[in-house]
Structure formats: structure tokens, C-alpha cells
Chain A
Amino acid sequence: MKSILSLTPGLALCAGLLLGAQAVSASTVEYHISLNTAALIGNASAPFSLDFQLNDGSGLGDANNTAIVNDFVFGSGSATGSANLFGGATGNLSGAVTLTDSSAFNEFYQTFNAGSTLSFDVTLTQNSDAGPRPDAFAFAILDNSLNNLPTSGVGDTYLLVNLGPTPSVTTGSSTSPLATITVTPVPEPASVVLIPLGLLAFILQRRNAANLRG
């Protein structure tokens, strides 16, 4: 699964989310997520927290999926405070956060000082759960009262990924103030490799055609 999500800055809160996915292996999927957090700088609701959840669809706490969130880049900001962990959550924003669906509800959140941008990577396993509900990874931003910033996404999230062999991605954008989001698929790495090869073949074909005409 490949996609780029980008948020157009809004009136005050300008959150931009750039999301690109790379298939790391047959059983994991990786997304690069980028946000424009300039509107959070100096906001009265600061400090904000990054909130990640990996909740078990079966409710059994079957621990069959894992989310690794790392490579945090806060722009001019930084991670602050300490991690708040629930269920199968470990780590912190200074290194990596790992969530496992070992409980029905698994959550991590930690405060940060917002810079102009924020980015991180998410690697998710792709196992299906028993029953009709998949495991779900979610990303949200909490205000200083630990309330989700309202978004148009599912449950005030910026990102919800239903895990499985073909993960489904639902994105949200901030609604107060408004920010919009666009999604652009990007090719897989293997496809990227094929592009120059295709161009080379095209050039050779044109050259051969030109030689024949000449």
C-alpha cells in the first residue's frame, strides 16, 4: 500500500500530514507521516501530545500485530515529558514506540513541543484477526487537557489503519480550525526501479526507430 497524504494549512492550526507507505516485507507495511505543526507553536492548548493506539479487533488481546513508530523529527520542537503507556505499549518519543495488541486497548501518548513540522515512520504487521473486526492502529494529537484535537477522521484521529493483508487507511484533518487533506498514491519501490528501466527501453526503441528511418 502506497500513499501520500498532505494537509493544506488552515486558518490557525495548519497541520500537514505526509504519509507514504512502503511494503517492508510480505507481512509488514510502512508509512512515512509528515505534518505541518506550525499552528501548534505557542497555541493556548499546548503542550500537545502525540497519541498512538493499537487496539485489538477480536478483543482477545491476541498480540498478533505490532506497530513500531520511530524516526521522530520535530523540526524546531522536541519531545518532552514522559511516556504514558496502556496495555501493550512501550517506548518513548526520544527513541521508538512499540505497540502490541496484547490487550483490547493499547495506547501510548507523550507531550512534545511543537515545531513547524513533525514526521515519523510507522511499521505495521498485517495479520488478520478472528472475527469481523480488524486490529486498528490510530494516530491522534491530544491537547493539554488530554482531549483529542477534533478531526474529520474516525474518532478524532488523523490516521486509522485497519490491519490485514490489505490494510485500509482512513485519514482525517483538523476541523477546528479547518485543515484539508489530499491523498496521492505513490509507486512501490520496485515500481520506482522499473521507471528508469522503462524510460531506457523507450529511448532505445526511439533510437532504433530513428536508425531505421535514417
Chain B
Amino acid sequence: MSNLKLKPAHSRTGAFRHKTILLAAAATAVLLAAGPASAQPVGNVFVIAMENHNFTQPNPLSNPQQIFTNPAAPYLNSLIIPGNPNAAQVAYATAYFNAGNGVHPSEPNYVWAEAGSDFADHSDADPRFANSNIFNVPHLAAQFNTAGISWRNYQEDVQLSTAPTNSAAGTTGPTNPYYGNTQFNYAVKHNPMAFFTDTYNQNVFPLAQFFTDLTTNSIARYTWITPNQFNDAHSGLTGGFTYLGTHYTGDQAAIAQGDNFLSIVVPEIMASPAYQTNGVIIIWWDESEGGDSSGFRIPEIIISPLSKGNAYASSVPLNHSSDIKTMEEIFSLGTLTNAIPVGETNVFGGYNNVATVNDLSDLFQPGVIPVAEGVTVAQSGYVYDRRTQQFVQQVTLENTGPTAVFGPLWLVLDNLSANATLVNASGTTANFPPLGSPYVGVNIGGDNLLSPGETATFYLDFSDPTRGAINYNARILSGTPTP
């Protein structure tokens, strides 16, 4: 937008008034010509979860083979070829990495897709308290619930299970409309909302319901789709799969099955009003295969009228936390700050905290993804109190975002100067790296929320016998009982 401001019109007469009108018209024309077009808000979001294949890897033909240039994935590859009609509304990532070192097998990646951490869950077990894979923490679907944003979780074959938290597989199901036989396989490990106490059985529907909702234009703002384990490219069908005249077996069959599924479902979504009103389809994969280093890159494909389009290839480093961050930005949610276990570092040596990762904005037209808002930290200068022999600083936190931030709320002081000690620290970080940093609990009232516009002011007391410089990096954590 231009910074030009037109002064209020004053009473003018004759030629002078005429000139004023002309000048105003000219200025308006300049504004219209120079200013970028207003970004349109993102409509409905559709996430389709795929399985267990790299986009690129050091050896493209090592098993499992990569997706890029794979002959068993002609549809997917058509999406990323500039000039291909299928790629007209596509942008994709070339540097989407595993969520963290050792974040495997599948299940922790789905948990991460919801919460920005796997909470050290490294199993594929169905959610059970005995398995320590049921979590009572802030997560994306809970944020949607709090904000009143509709979401639905479509799980293919879930109707063949006794409950959304029980996996089910067999050979005597109904004929699958995509691969044409009766094999079925619902895996809870691929159902992200199933691992949280508040959403484990909430808003979960069979996949067929999705197409009904698509037809009746009753799609939620956020849709998660998990195909069964054959259609998500996890497992090759017994007997293989013939796709476009070629019979594939083993993992190549799994890739072909996934490609076939997407080639049917994606165009159906794109033909719907729910998509055509600035909808976004995210074709998401769960994890890298063969390694977690930068040589193993995961596919991430965005299809939207608001994407940069024509198979735009983004080299911005991304990961599952980037998807969460983008959803929080699109839907004006707070930032999840769940702890990432020590050692689950990214390819750069840091941690993929939602607050600090790149969002997906490079895949979209400029201005489409709103800038994240959150809690700001305003620090006063230091004053030395001779009565307490401590340096005192006043700190004010303000929620500048549009939604409430969950408590408990903590201010962590990373890299505090060695000459200083935070006297009124509540403890030191043991779960959220960097570890060993002092933190204070912030009183945000009995509602345990920092509402939009709400502030919380408190003092930090430092002992510093040297009376030297006191520096630190402020970090906000929320929603976790133990920083």
C-alpha cells in the first residue's frame, strides 16, 4: 500500500477546485497503479497425507524410490512440470525436511503435524495410555475448536474399525473404489487427531463422507484426509497394482496406488466450489526414508488459486512445523510452543519450533499468508536497588495476536550473561531446548489465558556483583506445565 495520504477536502471554488479534483484523481490513479493487488484470504484447506517416500534422495533408485521422476508417479510429476496443465495452480517445496533427527516411524510425524512435537513418541502403536502416546497438550485441532473454526478428519476405512483409536486391516472389506479390490487397512498411526485427549474421536469420518460434503458444499475450513495404507502409498497391494497399463509390485506398487488415488481425488476437489473459492490443497508426506540429513527431502505440494502456480519450486527450508505455523497464520491462531525432545534437531542443528520455522508463504502469492502475531516482550532498562542489592527490570508481555494464548505462560531467559543470576527464577528449562535457561512463570490471571490485547507485567530480579552488562534472549513458552 502507498503511504500517500490525501488531506481532507476543503471548500474550493472555480478553477482551483477543478485542479484539486484532477490532482486527487491523479493521485488515486497512482495509488491504484503502484500498489500491489490486495491479497485474498485463504479459503478452505485440504490436507492429504501420503506416506514414506522422499521427493529426492541421494540415490533416486534405492528402495523406496524417490517420487521425483518416478515412472510409477506420473500424476505427481505432472504437478511439478512448468507448463503442464496440471501444474497451473501448483507450487512445491524442494527443501522440505524431516521434522527432526530420529522422528520416526510414521506416528510421531502425525503427532508433530498436530502439535509441533512428537513428545518422544517413537512408536506406531495405537493410542493407549499404557503406550504413553496419548497427549493432553495444545495442538492444532484444539486451537481450531477454541477459535470456533470448523475442521473434519476423514480417515479411509475407519468405518471398518471398532473405533477411531483401533487399527483395522483385512481382505474382506468393500471393494475399494480406487484400486478395485477388497483389501482394506485403516491405521490409527496415520490419524493425527487420534493421539490427543480432546480430539481422539472428534470430527472423524469415513472418506466417503468427504465426497458427500464436497457435493453438498459443506466442507470444513480445515480438512485432513488420510487414505488407507494402500492409497497413501504406504503398502503395496497383495498381488501388486496395475496402473496405466503397467503392473507394479512391492513399493513401486505403493507409489502407483498413491499416485492413482491422488489423480482421482485432487481433480475432484479442484472442481468443487469449496476449492475454487481460494481453497488450498496440501499434499503432505510424513517422513523421510533412508536418512534425516539434508540429502533426504520430503515432497510437499501446494495446489491453490492463490499459489504462485506453474510448478513454482520453493527452496525455502520447510518441515511439519511450517505447516502448523501457516495454519495458525491463515486462521489467526496463537503459536504452539510444545517442547521438542532433546536431540530431535533439524538438518541445520537447531529445532523446528513452530515459532521459529519458515512458513509456507513462499509457495503462495505475496501477501496471501498473513504474518504471524503473538506475544510481544517489552523490557525496561535496569535499575540497581541498593536495598535488595539486585538489578531490577520490568517486563511486559502483550498478546498482540487475535486469539488467546494458553497458559501456563513462561518467560525463558536464554544465554543470560554469566555475571548475572535471575534471583526470582521459577526454575531452569529441562524440556525445551536450550536447556538450563532460567525462566519465570507469568501471572496471567485465573482464566489461565492471555487474551488478545491483554498484558502481563512483572519484575525480573538479577544479582550481579560485577554490576556489568546483563544480556539475555527472551523466549516465550505457553501451554506446557514444565519448561
Contact = CB atoms under 8 A, between A and B. Distances in A.
Given A132-B474, A170-B394, A155 B468 contact: no
Given A59-B417, A105-B468, A135 B381 contact: yes
Interface in B367-400: 377, 379-388, 390-394
A170 B380 CA distance: 10
Contact of A59 (B387, B392, B469): B469
B379 A133 contact: yes
B384 A150 contact: no
B379 A105 contact: no
Interface string B115-141: 000000000000000000000000000
Chain B, interface residues (CB within 8 Å), range: 20 to 34
A86 B466 CA distance: 12
A102 interface: no
Interface in A90-120: 104-105, 107
B387 A138 contact: no
A60 B385 CA distance: 21
A85 to B, nearest CB: 13
B284 interface: no
A57 B468 contact: no
Given A154-B394, A155-B392, A53 B383 contact: yes
Interface in A6-27: none
Nearest to B396: A168
Contacts of A53: 383-384
A105 B382 CA distance: 9
Interface of B: 377, 379-388, 390-394, 417, 459, 467-471, 474
A136 interface: yes
A107 B385 CA distance: 11
22 contacts: A59-B469, A61-B469, A104-B467, A104-B469, A105-B384, A105-B467, A132-B377, A132-B379, A134-B380, A134-B381, A140-B383, A146-B386, A147-B386, A149-B387, A150-B387, A154-B380, A155-B390, A155-B392, A156-B392, A160-B380, A162-B381, A170-B394
Interface string A142-164: 10001111100011110010110
Most A-side CB within 10 Å, residue of B387, B390, B394, B470: B387
CB-CB nearest 9 A-B residue pairs: A136-B381, A59-B469, A155-B392, A155-B383, A147-B387, A155-B385, A105-B467, A138-B383, A148-B387
A188 interface: no
A156 B383 CA distance: 9
Contacts of A132: 377, 379, 474
A87 to B, nearest CB: 8
B377 A59 contact: no
Contacts of A138: 383
Nearest to A146: B386
Contact of B386 (A51, A131, A135): A51
Contacts of B380: 133-134, 136, 154, 160, 162, 168, 170
B478 to A, nearest CB: 19
Contacts of A86: 467
